[in-house]
Structure 1
Amino acid sequence: MGIVATLMTISFPSLITSQRRASISETAAVLLSDIKSQQTKAMFGDSQTSPTPTQYGVYFQADSYVLFNGSTYVPADPANFTVNLDPSLRFSSVTYPGSQIVFARGSGEIPGFVSDTYDLSLTDQSEAVTRIITINRYGVVTQIN
């Protein structure tokens, strides 16, 4: 009985750390899926709201991101969809102009792209773990650290 208690005491912190790392990895996967979905809508249209392609984007705040339609993020737009991050997660750095990625109608490229790459950093503050996601001018994820 004492051995089981000792093993549980030793392994419990590891399980919590693993769960948090899974949380940041899962959040990054959902984020990348949402970014790709916005790019696809810009390229081919959205059958639910507009079958004709238009610009779509993602706006980043410290503790959430917003999926939007149009050339720029408009906070009051009722069509915006906000995705809240887990309380321990934050976007610690976003190098995209205006903290947003906008995909061009038809091509899905990021208009006005002036850098070789832009990136965003997703940080788990409780574990000091950061995932840096790099996306190129074509909206392709080129690196995840």
Structure 2
Amino acid sequence: MNLTKGFVFVELLVVICIIMLLAGISLASFRFFQNKMGLDETADQLVNVLRLAQNKTLASEGQTSYGVHFAANNFILFAGSSYDPASLSNQQYNLAKELEIFNINLAGSGSDVIFSRLTGRTSQFGQISIRLAADPAQSRDIYISSAGQIGFVAQSLSADTRQKDSRHVHFNYSRIIDFNAEKIILLFDNPPNLPTTQEIIIKDNLDANGQIGWERTILVGGQNQQIIIRTHQVNNPLTVFSIIRDRRFNNKALSVSLSGEPGYGLIDYTDNGEVSAGSSVWVSGLAEQ
């Protein structure tokens, strides 16, 4: 009887050991996949923050550029043409303790990627790599090209020295605009024919934040003209307009006005892109960006 009990006890110990071994293997596998998932999610977040900085720059949010600063344990979205660690507007994203940024390989040998306000391009193109600290073989590479392409596949990273010819201006308009009733009027010169007119109904071109957002290609005399009109502030107390007219895609003189102020223009362009304030007394602060 005692011998039988001894065998049962030994068998029970063996079963317990097997269960503990399987549990240990399962736990290790779970932690590995959990850490790998965290690595993938952080890489996706980093790409999204880079794209956010680029989008904020192109929208001239706060009338400044945006960039991302990289360190071993975090990355930081910042406003301005250079990183200021003391800025209260910095948005810091901390990596989990299992992760680290181990490769910051950017043109200029810095730790920042800053985007151009006119084009969304960057001079700090290159590669950022994240890995599991305990398993360096598990890593993700993020590539930023000079053209502003961001992703997990390497693009051409060589600097683009093409001459760029574009025009991006901001100006203030201090009259209160009736967004429910008014239109923006685009008047394109089209000699020897009559001018081509494009009307933009403001209330139909407002985004979720109540800002004007309009972009269109317009055929004038058989040639396409590409115009982008946005606002960064509306009736508070003035409206801040942003207009992009790239000379590469436009060759017609253009006048922009509001239907609420007939006969008085907001801004005028010559056919070669020279820009000047219109005749409206409500326009001020015209500035090239």
Instruction: Identify whether the pair has TM-score above 0.5, normalized to the shorter chain.
Output: yes
Determine whether 1:141 maps to 2:142.
Answer: no
Q: C-alpha deviations, 1:21-77, integer Å up to 9, x for none?
A: 00110100111111111100001133xxx2x4x210000011111110111101111
After TM superposition, the score normalised by the length of structure 2 is 0.44
Asked whether the 8 Å contact 2:99–2:131 carries over to 1, the reply is: yes
How many residue pairs get matched?
136
1:72 is matched with which residue: 75, 82, 86?
A: 82
**For residues 44 and 33 of structure 1, what CA distance do their matches in structure 2 show?**
16
Q: C-alpha deviations, 1:81-116, integer Å up to 9, x for none?
A: 111111121111111232100011131110x35xxx
Return the offset for 1:127: 2.1
2:114 is matched with which residue: 102, 109, 120?
A: 102
Asked whether the 8 Å contact 2:51–2:150 carries over to 1, the reply is: no
**For residues 24 and 77 of structure 2, what CA distance do their matches in structure 1 show?**
42
Return the offset for 1:139: 2.1
Asked whether the 8 Å contact 1:44–1:106 carries over to 2, the reply is: no
Q: Which has the higher contact order (CA 8 A, sep 6+)?
A: 1
Identity of aligned residues (%): 29
> Which blocks of at least 5 consecutive residues in structure 1 are unaligned?
none
1:124 is matched with which residue: 114, 118, 132?
A: 132
Aligned pair in 2 of structure 1 residues 36, 89: CA closer, same or farther (>3 Å)?
Answer: same
User: Which residue of structure 2 aligns with residue 88 of structure 1?
Assistant: 98
More helix by share: 1
**For residues 144 and 15 of structure 1, what CA distance do their matches in structure 2 show?**
28
Aligned pair in 2 of structure 1 residues 27, 57: CA closer, same or farther (>3 Å)?
Answer: same
User: Which residue of structure 2 aligns with residue 9 of structure 1?
Assistant: 24
Stretches of 4+ aligned residues off by more than 6 angstroms: none
User: If you compute each CA radius of gyration, which structure gives the higher value, 1 or 2?
Assistant: 2
After TM superposition, the score normalised by the length of structure 1 is 0.83
User: Which residue of structure 2 aligns with residue 60 of structure 1?
Assistant: 70
Asked whether the 8 Å contact 2:47–2:151 carries over to 1, the reply is: no
SS of the residue 1:40 aligns to: helix
Return the offset for 1:4: 5.3
Asked whether the 8 Å contact 1:20–1:127 carries over to 2, the reply is: no
Return the offset for 1:142: 4.6
**For residues 47 and 143 of structure 2, what CA distance do their matches in structure 1 show?**
11
**For residues 26 and 72 of structure 1, what CA distance do their matches in structure 2 show?**
27
